[in-house]
Amino acid sequence: MTTPVRRTSDWMAVVRAEESAQPDAYYVDPCAEVFATEQARKVVDAFKPFHPPSEIVPVRGRLGDQTLLSSRVRQAVSVGAGSDSRPYRLPLDPPFVYYEVDLPGQLSGKAEALAEAGFQPRCRVVSVGTDLRSPPPAVAPGFDAIVATHWIVEGVLYYLTRAEADSVIGWITRQSAPGSWLTFDVPHPCFFTDPDRRPFLREMAARGVPFVGAVEDPVAWLAPHGWTAEAATHRDVAEGRCPWLPPLPPRLSARKQDIWLTRARR
């Protein structure tokens, strides 16, 4: 299946590769270069005049890493994993199992490309082809819903309607034992009403990858599902109002994004 949204994964790799090259990098992903293709770099450059909210990429990456490393779980699911490389660069040793879920076919060749560049996973990686809009009941055969899981949903809820996002949260919750963690980013509705955002949003739509997802209050959204959440927008982090993320360098805080960063526990 070819859907334009698949390409966004390589665009994210370009943003991570660019951040990783900074002397004071907020987030380092040595694997990002593997997916930062020439074509993806051209697209990312073409987007720059439209001021994409790329600051969010290293910040959500850092949130995912730090939560995963402190969460004491032994399995994680990267939902809409794309070029996420955590099992290749974080100390996730056996018996840790890292599940990556993305559209059917999207992850094929990923492990091989990383191996060719010299990256081996630290733990078992299970790649699953699933459309989140109609997922099977379980992440994968063998997935253990009895033990706590860290769910990482990065850069995905932008592309799902609110009804689809509700359904994804329900799917995650049904497979989340007590002690599970969930981290994600999602726009606040005012991202869509800000006139300064219109050219960027139009460009995304023109490229077949419209942003459609928004959540007004992630804490209230998750509460009925039994999750206790903390949420801060990128703007909050940039203005020093988020004690659970390290301060941002000026490069990542000059422009402020009304996009939520959320961590939740069940």
Ligand X SMILES: C[S@@+](CC[C@H](N)C(=O)[O-])C[C@H]1O[C@@H](n2cnc3c(N)ncnc32)[C@H](O)[C@@H]1O
**Contact positions vs ligand X (CB under 6 A):** 5-6, 8-9, 12, 80-84, 102-103, 106, 131-133, 154-156, 159
Q: Which is nearer to ligand X, 12 or 114 (CB)?
A: 12
Cβ of residue 106: shortest distance to ligand X, in angstroms? 5
Q: Which is nearer to ligand X, 97 or 212 (CB)?
A: 212
What tokens were used for 122? 């630290």
Cβ of residue 229: shortest distance to ligand X, in angstroms? 19
43-51 long-range contacts, CB within 8 A, separation 24+: 43/7, 43/11, 43/14, 43/207, 44/11, 44/14, 44/15, 44/18, 47/11, 47/200, 47/203, 50/199, 50/200, 50/203, 51/196, 51/199, 51/200, 51/255
Cβ of residue 153: shortest distance to ligand X, in angstroms? 8
Cβ of residue 155: shortest distance to ligand X, in angstroms? 3
What tokens were used for 202? 């139009």
Cβ of residue 62: shortest distance to ligand X, in angstroms? 12
Q: Which is nearer to ligand X, 6 or 255 (CB)?
A: 6
Q: Which is nearer to ligand X, 117 or 223 (CB)?
A: 117
The answer to whether the beta carbons of residues 50 and 58 sit under 8 Å apart is no
The answer to whether the beta carbons of residues 67 and 150 sit under 8 Å apart is yes
Q: How far apart are CA 171 and CA 221, in angstroms?
A: 14
Q: Which is nearer to ligand X, 1 or 146 (CB)?
A: 1
Q: Which is nearer to ligand X, 8 or 233 (CB)?
A: 8
Bridge partners, 124 (sequence order): 97
The answer to whether the beta carbons of residues 235 and 37 sit under 8 Å apart is no
Bridge partners, 129 (sequence order): 102
Q: Which is nearer to ligand X, 8 or 180 (CB)?
A: 8
Cβ of residue 178: shortest distance to ligand X, in angstroms? 26
**What's the distance, CA 180 to chain centroid?**
17
Cβ of residue 111: shortest distance to ligand X, in angstroms? 15
Cβ of residue 68: shortest distance to ligand X, in angstroms? 13
∠ CA 73-120-129, nearest 5°, is 65
**What's the distance, CA 64 to chain centroid?**
8
Q: Which is nearer to ligand X, 62 or 235 (CB)?
A: 62
Measured on CA atoms in the order 191, 197, 200, 202, is the torsion positive or negative?
A: positive
